[in-house]
Every structure is written in structure tokens, then in C-alpha cells.
Amino acid sequence: MPISRREFLKLSALVTTSAALSGCGAIYRRLTGSMSVTEWSPMDEHDFTVLNRLTFGARPDERARFLEVGLKPWIEEQLDIQSIDDLDCSLRLAPFRSLEMEANELEAISNQLFENYDRESLPAELRLASLIRQVYSRRQLYEVMVGFWNDHLNIFTEKGNCFYLKTVDDRRVVRTHALGSFRELILASAHSPAMLVYLDNHVNHKGAPNENYARELMELHTLGVNGGYSQADVMELARCLTGWTVKDHFWLGDFEFNADLHDPGVKYVLGMEISDSGINEAEQVIDTLSTHPSTARFISSKLAWRFIADDPPEELIQKGARAFLDTEGDIKSVLRVILLDGVDFVQPKYKRPSDFVISALRMLHAQTDGRGPDESLRGMGQSLFGCPTPDGYPDNSAAWQGNLMPRWNFAFRLVRGEIEGTQIDMEHLLAYVPDDDLTVRFDALATLLLGVPIAEPFRSGLMELITSGGTNEEEMLQILAAGILVSPSFQWK
Amino acid sequence: MVTPGTSERTAARLLRRPLEKPWMPRLAFAPPNIAPRGDTLVVIFLRGAADGLNMVVPHGERAYYRLRPTLGIPPPDDTKTKPEERTIDLDGFFGFHPSFQPLLDAWHDGSLAVIHACGGPDESRSHFKAMELMERGVADERGPASGWIGRHLASLDTGNSSPLRAVAMGTRTQRSLSGSVPVSALRSIADFHLGGNQHLLDQMRSTLDLLYEGDDLGKDTLSIMNTMQSMDPMIYKPAHSALYPETELGMALKQTAMLIKAEVGLEVSAIDVGGWDTHFAQGSTTGQMPNLIEELALGLSAFYADMHEHMDSLIVVSMSEFGRRVSENGSLGTDHGHGSMMMLMGGNVAGGRIHGQWPGLDEGQRIGPGDLAVTTDYRDVLSEVCVKRLNNPVVSEIFPEYQPRMLNVVRK
């Protein structure tokens, strides 16, 4: 519910005095519009890389906490998401009322009766809310994992009714199980109308089978392409999944198992005999798939790729896979192994567009309602929930290295305050830095964005270039900040 | 504060080209075909189901006038109406809507072709579904979710790594472009200009020069950006005094022309024109739809004149998700129909001709609730364009599970 400016001011007067002590800091910041900035200092390159892999771009307070407690306790704090106060982010999400709605409500608000459906508003809310969470949530590792599973279980909101069903999928499937049990995650996804529509299982009927979901469930969601299944397994699993569909009358948009559309009889999947048991058939197969050694290896590999390197060591993959099997797919347990055992093997990865945009916003303490960044991401080819193919946006460095211009454009527009609904307060950001020496401020900005001052000869080169120009101090600072954002180093995390 | 060694590490990062791992699914998509690029493709999608019957009028059909007593475009010899309100005869049976007058140059030059009674197999008459299927280039919901142009680009390695290889004009990236090749969305070339005063701008450019010294991709991008920086649609002088209309389409075509002439690697430009869903007060020779027809004609004719010297390496396609009901409705408009019309423009188009087989508009010839039948699948036309003009022989990749017929609408 929006609060008027007057109410804002009244409230802010009430909380000002006690804000720092009472945990109302978030409300205070929300009301006053500026965020607290803590001091920062240079950081070891490896630590900086690791921390930026675990977050969407570390802020100074996250750096400080990491250096204070160390990697392992920092990860444990982040994995215990309920213990992390996230009021600031929640307040920012308050206007997005569709996030908590059920499918039939979402359908109703998009249905314009005599006009066509409004297919734009709900996906836009979901994108903006996701961007805001990535920027402002203090549960950073959780948000990184939400992003990981949204790629792994990719759904394209432009396909059929996914435009309203994905909102439910994001909440019930991905956000509910992101750090839970892999089996529960896949089971929830299989019951998710958005997934069933996206991969055509809602039209997988007795006598008219559609193999799309059955294939991707094995190829992309669990076993992996060389995970040891055959075309016959795909066809038999598709038979098990006949009748898994979406309600189109009462409780419209909810999952439904329609026994009339289910193909009866015994099925054989992965060498198992599945007796004729309706909805239990596919659930039984999902049990097997989600605890299969191929799945363990596949998930461990993808996590290692995301968090450690494009080319992670085989030993680490095996260790992660073992943890997966030992814990029957407990996501936190696998993640601990990948992160703690993998930390020494961390290699730079090229930022995907969303990493680039979100890290710039986070590190510069930008105030954003998400609109401009959302538009920019579209121009960079990584609109959230906009990947048409079921394998999700690629997670390898090479895939994203071709398109620099929109990044440069974003950087220059960001520092000049030209991104819609987005501001940076450079003076507030640099409050701790002496303002009489531009070089000191430049080094501070680079230390904030890159972990260390920018390397020579670029450092002196840039300083010389900018100071010789005769622009005013504000503009010089803008160019220096933009220069760091466009630098090759900032394109890597 | 200097940290020696960081620049070396940065250099090492830049040189890193990680290997694809065999266990990752379908992330690396190796183009099956390597060939020099063909024509620049400009696709204009008329959103909302354009009424092809009132654009290229079958004035030889009595049923047309019977079913459209008020909306029908008067025949060429209709002495009861003013000459400028009559159909412009093309071949004795078909004629242009009078607002298509500006297209006559291209028509008479043999650079403009029409394929009538053309469309997709989907009969849902749903804009969304039909557009989705058509842009994906598939017959029904199954099949790849990516777009046909996206798959064309992905399946043909032209050695072109330009960030402007495929451009979506406007804010939205058309579904047809989606695929593994990055697409730039371009509202205006001015969006690629770095803001601020000249001085600030020079400093920003020098900053990029400095930072990307020795990086090939960075240098390529810089040179394209520098080229774009000097391009301003507001002061651009089209060739042959061509005059682009002050509309979104005019702007999109003008910028497409600018990008082609600037040789920045443009292979595909996708343009949307909305407003064709004319259920109500459509207008016959004046009004809503005639305005749209005129806008389209003025845009295309300006582009044709401006790009005269480039026509041999250009192919423009206009298409719509389906056509409109043959009979007019009770509110002086037309409802959703089936068969539509495509146009092709370019130096190697078999132009000055109406292609396709005319199914007729009489009872028994119309389909469904009374619609123009589809006798040419849109994929036949696009397949031929891909093979003959875009140098891409792998039509099976672009339109999976479809066997195209070649109609000879373009020359090799």
C-alpha cells in the first residue's frame, strides 16, 4: 500500500531517534531515501571474487562481515535465511500485490473481459520484484540460488498462460525449495502448471502423447543429456505423465490429474516396472530420477560451474555428487561442499548481463524501482523469465562476451542519473572519503567496485585524461565511476 | 595504492576462453553451416491481423463487393466514385488500395511482389497464438520455443560478430528473433549515443579507448559506437530526396537504412507496426485503416527510394498473423479471419506480380466462419527467402518438420 509523502515524514520523525538501535534502520532508510554506507578498504582479489560469486555484488557491510567471520560462518549465516532480517527488501516489495496471489486471482486480474488478456503487467511485476530482491535482499546467497534454479527449471513467460502461472511457480516451486530438498523441488515443479504449460504436458493425453516435458525432465532437470536414459524411457515417462494437466474451469490454473486422460497399463522406465497406478506412476519415477547418481553428478556439476569456474575440477564434481547421494539431494549440503571444497579453485567468470547490472546497482548503493534496469536487461538479451529455450540462459563466460555496447551505455547512463527510476547519490556514497583529492576518491571508487584500486597504467592514464579536461568535479567523478564500470575488470566476477 | 600484477591478471582474464564441457546440455550450439552473409533482411510485422483483402483488392470478385457493401474498395472502373478513391488496377483482377499509390514505382520496377491468400495453418483466430506460432515458425504448440529468425542466425555462421547483427526496432524484442544469437533492441540510434556535452563525450570515448586498447572485441564495439555517434536520424539526408513519414515505421525504416549504409554488420532488422485489429469503423478509402495503409506505403516507398543503390542486397518482408473475415461486421469493421497477404520488396524479388493461388471468395470457397482460405503457407515464402537470398540452406533447422514448396517469389 503506498504511503503518502506526509505520512512518510511523520513516520520518519518518529523513528529517527531510535532507528539505529531498534532494528528499524531499514524503515528509516526506506523513509529517508538514503542507504547507510559503511567504510570499505581494499580486499584480497581471491576473497573479492569468492564473495561476488556468493552475492549479486558485495556491498561494504557484506565485505566487512565476510572479513570478520570468515567464509564458513558467512555461508552458514547466509544459509540460515530465516535468521536474516530482510525488512528493507520486504518494504520495497509491498506494492507488488500479485506476488502472493493464486493462479485464479492472477488470471482474473489479467482478464480484461472484452479486450484481450493483459499479458504484460504480471510478468513485469515479477521481473521488477526479482530485480529488487537481487539488489536489496540481504539473503544474497538465497537469491543467487533462486536465480540458479530459475535457470535450471527455466520457464518462458511469453509461452501460453505462463504469463500469469509463472508468478505462482516462482513462489511455490523455486523460492520455496531453493535451499531445501532437490526431490521436493522437482516434485513441486512437476506439479507446477507453469511448467506443464511451458513444456506442453498439459496436452499430453492418452492416445495423443506429448514427450516434451518427459524428455526435459530427464535431460535438463535431473539426469542430464548423457545420464543413461533412452528414447523408450522418454516415451514411457511421457505415458506416466499423461493426464498431468491444468484446471481450466473451477480453480482455474491449478494443477489437476485427470484420470480420464491418463494412459493406463504398466510402464517401464529406466528398467523399472511401474504398475498401473495413475498419478503415483510419475511420482514414483520422479523419486528415482531425483536421487539418481547421474542427477547427483549433473546438479553438482552445474553448481560448480555457477559458483566455482567454467571448468571446475572433476574431483570437486564427484565430491558434490557424493554429498548429494549421501543426503538424498539436500541442496544445502551439496552447496556447502561445492563452496567450501571449491573455494581454492575459483576462477573468474564473465558477468552475465544481470550480474553486471545488479552488481553496479548494489555496489553503488543505487535507489531503484527496477524499471530502467529491467529495460536495460532486455536490451542486453537477458530479460528475466525471457529465455525461450528450456535450458535457461547460458552460464558460461563465452556466451556473453559479444555484446559490450549496452553495458557501456548502461554504465554511462547510470552515473549520469539517466536510468529510469534509478539514482545514485555519489556524495552520500563517498561520505567517508576526503573530498579534496580526486585521486583518493577514484581509488576509493575502484576499491568499492573492483576490490582494489585500478591497475597501472590505466589508473594514471585515466586520471590524466580526466583531470586535463577541465570539466567540473561532479562530472569528473561521473566519468571515473563510469570508467570503472565499463572496464574489462568489472565485466568479470 | 598501486597493486602490481593486477593488470597482468586482468589480461589473463581477458584471454580466458573456457572450454565447453560435454556434459552440459545444448549450451554450445555450433552453427551447422558457414557461409558469407546474404541480403539484409527487413521484416515488418503488421500486428493485429491486417486486412489483406482491402490492401490488395480482388476487384474481379463479385463476392468481395457483395460481402463488403460499405467497406469494399470501389473497382478501378467505378464511375460513381472519384478516381482517387478507386482500386488501382494491377493485373485486371487484383488492384492496390488507393493509399498504396506510393508503392507503384517499386511495383512497376519489378521490385515488389505480393503473395495473396497466404498465412499459417493455425485456425485459432487468436492474435496471440497465431503470432506466437508464426514468429516461432511452427505449426502448433510443439516444437522449438525460439524464433525462426533466431534459428536462421544461429544456424548460419557468416563470420559476423557485430553486436548489431540482428536489431529489434522499438523497445520489444520480437519473438521471431529469439534464439542463441544476441539481439540488440534499438529504439533510436540516439540511444547509442553517449549523453552529455561534447567535452564529456570525448572523455568517455577516450576512457574506453584506453581501457580496451588491445582487446579486439572492445575495439570493434568502439568503432561501431563511434560510427553510430555521428549518426543522427534527425539530420540524416536520405538519397534521392526520399521522405520518410514521421511515424514509428518511418523512423524504424530510416534507421535501418542508416545502419545498412554505415556497414555496421546489420543482417536483420525486425520492425513492428501495430493497429491493424480493425473490428470497428475500419474505413474504406478514408479513416483508420487507410491511414495505416498509407503509412506503410509511404514508409516502404521512402525506403525504396533511399536504398535504391542497395536494393540488390536487400529483402523486405511484410507479414501479419492472419487476415480478416471477408464479410464486414455490424460495426463497419471486420472480424478475425484466416488467409492474409505478404509482400516482398527487393532487387531480386520476382516482382510486379501477384503470386499464389487465389481460392475465391464465394460460398464453398471460403473456410470456417467465412474466411479467405490459405493456399500458400508463409513458411514457403520465408524458406525461399532464406535459401535463395540469405544463403542459409538448412531450412529444416529454421522451420522444423516443414517441407517448403518453392514458389519462385525471389531469384537466386
Instruction: Please report whether residue A67 resides in a domain.
Output: no
User: In sequence order, which ranges of A364-472 are alpha helices (DSSP H)?
Assistant: 371-380, 405-415, 426-429, 438-450, 458-467
| Number of domains composing chain A | 4
**Domain final residue pick, A320, A345, A370:** A345
The answer to whether residue B204 scores a pLDDT higher than 80 is yes
**Does A363 fall in a domain?**
yes
Q: Are B258 and B224 in contact (CB under 8 A)?
A: no
- A17 pLDDT higher than 70: no
Query: Are A312 and A246 in a shared domain?
Result: no
Highest mean pLDDT among A9-18, A227-236, A260-269: A260-269
Q: State the nearest Cα–Cα gap between B347 and chain A, in angstroms.
A: 32
A279-315 pLDDT, tens digit each: 999 999 999 999 999 999 999 999 999 999 999 999 9
pLDDT at A451: 95
Q: Is pLDDT above 70 for B7? A: no
Sequence-ordered list of residues with C-beta below 8 angstroms from that of B121, at least 6 positions apart, any chain: B139, B140, B374, B377
End position of a domain, from candidates A310, A325, A345: A345
Instruction: Evaluate whether B332 touches B287 at the Cβ level (below 8 Å).
Output: no
- Calculate the average pLDDT of chain B: 87
The answer to whether residues A138 and A241 belong to one domain is yes
Mutate to test the interface with B, among A218, A346, A404 (most CBs of B within 10 A): A404
Say what the pLDDT of residue A214 is: 94
Give the residue with greater pLDDT, B127 vs A109. A109
Cβ–Cβ below 8 Å for B184 and A462: no
CA distance A62 to chain B (A): 23
- Does residue A469 belong to any structural domain of this protein? yes
Work out the minimum CA distance from A350 to partner chain B, whole angstroms. Answer: 9
Return the pLDDT at A115: 73
> Chain B residues with CB inside 8 Å of A44's CB?
none
Q: Do B192 and A455 touch (CB under 8 A)?
A: no
Q: State whether A123 and A147 are in the same domain.
A: yes
With contacts defined as CB-CB under 8 Å, which chain B residues touch A377? none
Position A239 pLDDT exceeds 90: yes
Higher pLDDT: B216 or B329? It is B329
Which of A154, A160, A257 lies closest to A213 in space, CA to CA? A154
Domains in chain B (CATH in brackets) are 31-190+234-398 (3.40.720), 194-231 (no CATH)
Partners of A311 on chain B (C-beta within 8 Å) are 18-19, 21
Q: Which of chain A's residues have a Cβ under 8 Å away from the Cβ of B132?
A: 158-159
Alpha-carbon distance B133 to nearest alpha carbon in chain A (angstroms)? 10
On whether residue A241 sits in a domain, the answer given is yes
A136-170: b (≥16 Cβ within 10 Å) or e: bbbbbbbbbbbbbbbbbbbbbbbbbbbbbbbbbbb
H/E/C letters for each residue in A218-265? HHHHCCCCCCCCCHHHHHHHHHHCCCEEECCECECCCEEECHHHCCCC
Amino acid letter at B363?
A: E
Is a pLDDT exceeding 80 seen at residue B217?
A: no
Across the interface, do B175 and A388 touch by the CB < 8 Å criterion? Answer: yes
Burial class (CB in 10 A: 0-12, 13-18, 19+), A313: middle
Lowest-confidence region among A126-135, B226-235, B253-262: B226-235
pLDDT tens for A426-471 read 999 999 998 889 999 999 999 999 999 988 888 998 899 888 876 7
* Tens digit of each residue's pLDDT (9 = 90 or more) over B285-307: 999 999 999 999 999 999 999 99
What is the model's pLDDT at position A148?
98
Q: Is residue A47 part of a domain?
A: no
User: Could you tell me if A340 and A360 lie in one domain?
Assistant: no
> How far is the alpha carbon of B43 from chain A, nearest alpha carbon, in Å?
19
- Check A465 against B206: CB less than 8 A apart: yes
Q: Are residues A416 and B184, on separate chains, in Cβ contact within 8 Å?
A: no
Hey, CA dihedral for B14, B20, B26, B30, is it positive or negative?
positive
Per DSSP, what are the bridge partners of residue A208?
A205
Q: Do B182 and A404 touch (CB under 8 A)?
A: no
Read off the pLDDT band of B19 (50, 70, 90). very low
* Same-domain status, A103 and A224: yes
Task: Answer yes or no: do A389 and B171 touch at CB < 8 A.
Answer: no
Q: Write down the residue that cell numbers 597501472 correspond to.
A: A456
Does a structural domain hold residue A48? no
pLDDT per residue as tens digits for the range B88-109? 999 999 999 999 999 999 999 9
Q: Is the pLDDT of residue A340 over 90?
A: yes
Asked if B22 and A412 come within 8 Å (Cβ–Cβ), the reply is no
Q: Does A277 lie in the same domain as A245?
A: yes
Residue B191: what pLDDT? 67
Cβ–Cβ contact B178 with A under 8 A: yes
Co-location of A247 and A280 in the same domain: yes
Is the pLDDT reported for residue B20 higher than 60?
no
pLDDT value of position B14: 34
What is the per-residue pLDDT for A141? 98
A485 and A402 fall within a common domain: yes
- Among partner residues A212, A389, A405, which is closest to B225 by beta-carbon distance? A405
Question: Residue B31 has what pLDDT?
Answer: 56
Interface of B with A in 180-239 (CB under 8 A): 180, 182-185, 191-192, 194-196, 199-200, 202-204, 206-208, 210-212, 215, 217-218, 221, 224-225
In a shared domain, residues A310 and A247: no
Contact B173 A378 (CB under 8 A): yes
Considering the domain architecture, whether residues A104 and A183 belong to the same structural domain is answered as: yes
Would you state the pLDDT for residue A255?
A: 98
Does residue A59 fall inside a structural domain? Answer: no
Give the burial class of A256: count Cβ atoms within 10 A of its Cβ; 0-12 exposed, 13-18 middle, 19 or more buried. buried
Beta-carbon separation of B25 and A224 below 8 A: yes
Q: Is the pLDDT of residue B190 over 70?
A: yes
B27: nearest CB among A117, A297, A391: A391
Q: What percent of chain B stands above pLDDT 90?
A: 64
Return mean pLDDT, chain A. Answer: 91
Mind telling me how many Å the CA of B150 is from chain A's nearest CA? 11
Q: Is the model's pLDDT at B1 over the cut of 60? A: no
* Residue % of chain B over a pLDDT of 70: 90
Is it the case that residue A72 has pLDDT exceeding 80? Answer: yes
Closest Cα in chain A to B144? A389
Distance from CA of A284 to the nearest CA of B (A): 25
Report whether pLDDT(B63) > 90. Answer: yes
Predicted confidence at residue A27, as pLDDT, reads 56
- How sure is the predictor about A24, in pLDDT bands with cuts at 50, 70 and 90? very low
CB contact set of A159 (below 8 Å; sequence gap of 6+): A197, A198, A388, B132, B145
Cell of B314: 536487400
Give the model's pLDDT for residue B21: 25
Task: Give residue B15's pLDDT band: very low, low, confident or very high (50, 70, 90).
Answer: very low
pTM for the structure as a whole? 0.76
Angle of CA points B356, B317, B248, to nearest 5°: 135
Q: Domain check: are A220 and A231 in the same one?
A: yes
More confident residue, B220 or B345: B345
- Are A300 and A186 found together in one domain? no
Q: Is B132 an interface residue toward A (CB < 8 Å)?
A: yes
pLDDT at B176: 94
Structural domain that includes position A215: 90-290
**What pLDDT does A378 receive?**
87
- Grid cell of A387 as nine digits: 529465455
> Residue B226: its pLDDT value, please?
81
- Residue B156: pLDDT above 80? yes
CB hemisphere CA count around B146 (13 angstroms): 24
Mean pLDDT is highest, among A168-182, A386-400, B138-152, for A168-182
Out of A212, A457, A465, name the one closest to residue B207 (CB). Answer: A465
Disruptive mutation site among B8, B9, B10 for chain A (greatest number of A CBs within 10 Å): B10
Is residue A273 assigned to a domain?
Answer: yes
Instruction: Identify the residue whose cell numbers are 485456425.
Output: B123
For the beta carbon of residue A210, count every other beta carbon within 10 angstroms.
19
List chain A residues with CB under 8 Å of B171: 375, 378
| Domain-ending residue, one of A275, A290, A305 | A290
